[in-house]
Structures are given as structure tokens and as C-alpha cells.
Amino acid sequence: MLSDQLFAEIFLPGIVRECSHMDHCIYPLDGPQALRYLDTLLELPQIHAIQWVAGAGHDHWADWVPMYRRIQEAGKGFWIGVPAAELHQLFAALRPEGAWLTVSGIGDEDSAQAALKAISRWRK
């Protein structure tokens, strides 16, 4: 990993330039070591959302709720993958604003309809 100074000097100009060409930019933040750059990335108006990839063995969404809250507090969206059986936990832990969901563990149309109904009621 790079120091914060080298990240700012070497990578931020390219990130800003690339994101400036998009109407909506999702930045893929990959691995716990990359979290050191989260606050810097959240300050960029060109980035609209964060896709957090925790890495092998660190990937349960609930372990990262404080980070998702930081993203929301910065006014950014986030992508999150959640098992259908844990939707109620997600709804209790985070606000719906800016959340982009991938729901796993849906095996039939009834399960899919139940998940859609639950998500549609996710309001605080």
C-alpha cells in the first residue's frame, strides 16, 4: 500500500479525471488495507458511491456497519450484498438512502416477492 501522500499525488488525479466523465461513479474499495483512503475518497464530489470488497474471510456485511454508516454520513451511496434471511438486520442497522442491494439466498419466485416487499417497506 502507498502512503496517504503518494496516494494523493499518484492516484487521486487519475481517479478524479476518470470519474469526471461519468454521470454516476461507484468506486470499488478493495480490502481492509484500502480503508485508509476511505475518508479521502468520500471527500471527492466525483465519487457518488462506494463498492466495498472486504476480502476473503472478512466479507460478512454486518462486520462493516460502522464503515457503511461513515459512507452514508458523507452523503454517498454504497453497494452491499446481503442474504435474504438477514434483510431485517440490514434494515435495523442502516438507512435506505443510497443503498444498492444484491440479495442472495433467493431460490424461488415467492422468496423473491417476499424480499421485494420487505425492501419496499425499508424506511426510517
Highest mean pLDDT among 3-12, 50-59, 80-89: 80-89
Does residue 95 surpass a pLDDT of 80?
yes
Per-residue pLDDT, 55: 79
The listed CATH number (3.40.50, 3.90.1690, 3.90.1150, 1.10.287) that belongs to domain 4-120: 3.40.50
Per-residue pLDDT, 56: 77
Does residue 124 surpass a pLDDT of 70?
no
- For 3-27, the pLDDT digits (tens) are 888 888 999 999 999 988 888 999 9
CA distance 29 to 93: 21
The model carries a pTM of 0.88
| Nearest residue to 46 (alpha-carbon basis) of 66, 71, 22 | 22
Domain chopping of the chain, boundaries:
4-120
The DSSP string of 9-71 is IIIHHHHHHHHTT-SS-EEEEESGGGGGGHHHHHT-TT--EEEEE--TT---GGGGHHHHHHH
Per-residue pLDDT, 1: 65
